[in-house]
Every structure is written in C-alpha cells, then in structure tokens.
C-alpha cells in the first residue's frame, strides 16, 4: 500500500514540475484569443491542403509586402505535408520572383527564382529602410511566428480579426499606432492589413472575408513554422503503438523472471 502511495506521490511530484509551465501566470494585458477548431489540431490532425494554398495566396498578396518568410523555399510548397502544389506550380511560383545576383561584370542584376530559392521578400536593403522608416521597426519575419507567440495560430487569427474593436476608455492610441486588444499592450504598429474581398480566391464557395483570410493565413503560417508536423504525428503514432506493445511484453517478461521470488 505504501509502495503505491509512494509511487503515485513520486509520479505526481514529477508531473507537477513540468506542469509548472511558463506563462501560467504571465502578466499579460492582452485579450485571450479564441480557440479555433483547426484541422491540424489533435493527434490525427493534418493540414487542409486547400487552406494552405489559400493561406499562401493571402501571405503573398497581403503580408509579403512587409513581412519576410525567409526559412521557406519554393521547393517546400510541393513538399508532402504542406500545401502540396505540383512541381510545375511551385516552379511557376518561384519563377514569378526576381532573385538579386551579380552578373558577370559584377553589376547587380536579377535572375528568375528556382525551387531551391527561399522566399525573397523583405530581402532588399532599400525595402528594409522603407519599412523601418514607415513603422519605426522592422515587421517581424513570419517563418516561425506561429511558434514564437503564445497562442500560436489562434493568436494570429485573433490578431488579424481584432482590429474592429472600439478603443476602451482610458486607452489613448498614439499616432502611428492601432488598437488591437489581442496584441500585448493593446497598441500595434501594423494597421489593419486586410478587408473583405481583397484577395480573390480561385476556389469556389470559399467566403472572401477577413475572417476566412485570417484563418487561411494562420494555418499557412502554422505550417511554415512546423512543416514536418504531419510526419511527426504519423511516425509518432507508430512509435507509441510499438512502444505500448513492447512495454507490455517486457512487463510480462519481468513478471515471469520474478515469479518465484517474494519481493
């Protein structure tokens, strides 16, 4: 009996420590983002390919004018577990961009992008300078943003749809700032980035609303931050299933080895 009490107490103590997660009490003035029922939630969750494709379109047409995505290469667009564009589509998307190079004479020139190229937005120094002077800071690169903010995709969605709240009393919005209750501190430099009907989805039946755009681009950024998620969950399922069986076998072996010993 004591053994059981002891074992469970030790297990509890061990469980209590990782339970002490950072952020549990984090002093935050931000509103709590709504939890979205993402297709990639849960043990078997996967990305919705069409949603990622739409999200890429939103990123390309809206976000990319200010935000880089430097960890993603065009080849990733065709990788399994991602938007899964065909190779030809990914090549065509890559060819749309001009990659700065030096020509044979050593003069700045450009060439067409290839699958091996990473997203070039925000890479030009003059573009950086423009953004810096416009906003007073560099808009963050979005490659890891879904893992670099509390709330992840929920937070991005809440932030993008959170611009229409009335400014509460006692809050003064400085010039160049915008009120958004989901942003820590409530004042964000980024103005409302999207409006309804701004992005023309080719896919029929998908609403062209800020709500839909926000969902799609949040899902896309989640994939950008964690492109191996589907492989991880798939391999994990097999690994844990196998480990469960192995543990059962090893437990029976252990009991069998000890069957003649009082202990």
Shortest distance, position 1 Cβ to other proteins, whole Å: 9
> Hey, which residues does 39 pair with through a beta bridge?
none
| Interface with other proteins, residue 23, by CB under 8 A | yes
Q: For residue 77, which of 135, 116, 37 has the smallest C-alpha distance?
A: 116
- Binding residue for other proteins, selected from 31, 71, 93, 189, defined by CB under 8 A: 71
Instruction: Name residues whose C-beta falls within 8 Å of residue 53's C-beta, 6 or more positions apart in sequence.
Output: 83, 85
| Interface with other proteins, residue 228, by CB under 8 A | yes
* Between 67 and 213, CB nearer to other proteins: 67
| Interface with other proteins, residue 132, by CB under 8 A | no
| Interface with other proteins, residue 165, by CB under 8 A | no
CA angle 254-256-261, nearest 5°? Answer: 95
- Binding residue for other proteins, selected from 31, 36, 93, 144, defined by CB under 8 A: 144
* Between 3 and 204, CB nearer to other proteins: 3
The two three-digit tokens of residue 203, written as one number? 């896919």
Q: 215 exposed, middle or buried (CB, 10 Å; 0-12, 13-18, 19+)?
A: buried
- Binding residue for other proteins, selected from 32, 132, 147, 208, defined by CB under 8 A: 147
- What's the gap between Cα 38 and its chain centre? 12
Residue ranges with strand state E in the chain? 98-102, 108-112, 178-179, 187-188
| Interface with other proteins, residue 251, by CB under 8 A | yes
| Interface with other proteins, residue 204, by CB under 8 A | no
Q: Which of 230-249 are b and which e, b meaning 16 or more Cβ less than 10 Å from the residue's Cβ?
A: beebeeeeeeeeeeeeeeee
Shortest distance, position 155 Cβ to other proteins, whole Å: 10
Q: Which residues bind other proteins (CB under 8 A)?
A: 2-3, 6-7, 9-10, 13-14, 16-27, 43, 71, 73, 75-76, 79, 114-116, 143-144, 147-150, 184, 225, 227-228, 231-233, 235-237, 239-240, 242-247, 249-254, 256-258, 260-263
């Amino acid at each position: 009996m004591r053994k059981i009490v002891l074992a469970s107490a030790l297990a509890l103590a061990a469980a209590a420590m990782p339970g002490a997660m950072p952020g549990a009490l984090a002093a935050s003035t931000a509103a709590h983002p709504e939890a979205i029922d993402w297709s990639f939630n849960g043990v078997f969750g996967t990305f919705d390919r069409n949603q990622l494709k739409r999200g890429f379109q939103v990123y390309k047409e809206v976000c990319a004018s200010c935000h880089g995505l430097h960890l993603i290469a065009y080849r990733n667009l065709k990788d399994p577990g991602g938007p899964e564009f065909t190779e030809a589509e990914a090549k065509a998307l890559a060819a749309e961009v001009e990659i700065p190079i030096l020509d044979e004479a050593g003069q700045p020139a450009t060439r067409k992008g290839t699958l091996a190229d990473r997203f070039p937005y925000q890479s030009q120094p003059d573009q950086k300078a423009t953004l810096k002077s416009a906003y007073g800071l560099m808009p963050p690169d979005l490659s890891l943003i879904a893992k670099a903010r509390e709330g992840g995709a929920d937070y991005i969605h809440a932030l993008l749809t959170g611009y229409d709240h009335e400014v509460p009393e006692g809050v003064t919005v400085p010039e160049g700032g915008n009120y958004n209750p989901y942003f820590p501190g409530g004042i964000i430099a980024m103005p409302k980035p999207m409006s309804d009907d701004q992005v023309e989805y080719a896919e029929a039946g998908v609403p062209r609303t800020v709500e839909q755009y926000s969902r799609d681009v949040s899902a896309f950024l989640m994939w950008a931050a964690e492109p191996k998620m589907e492989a991880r969950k798939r391999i994990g399922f097999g690994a844990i299933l196998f480990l469960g069986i192995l543990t059962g076998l090893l437990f029976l072996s252990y009991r069998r080895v000890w069957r003649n010993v009082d202990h």
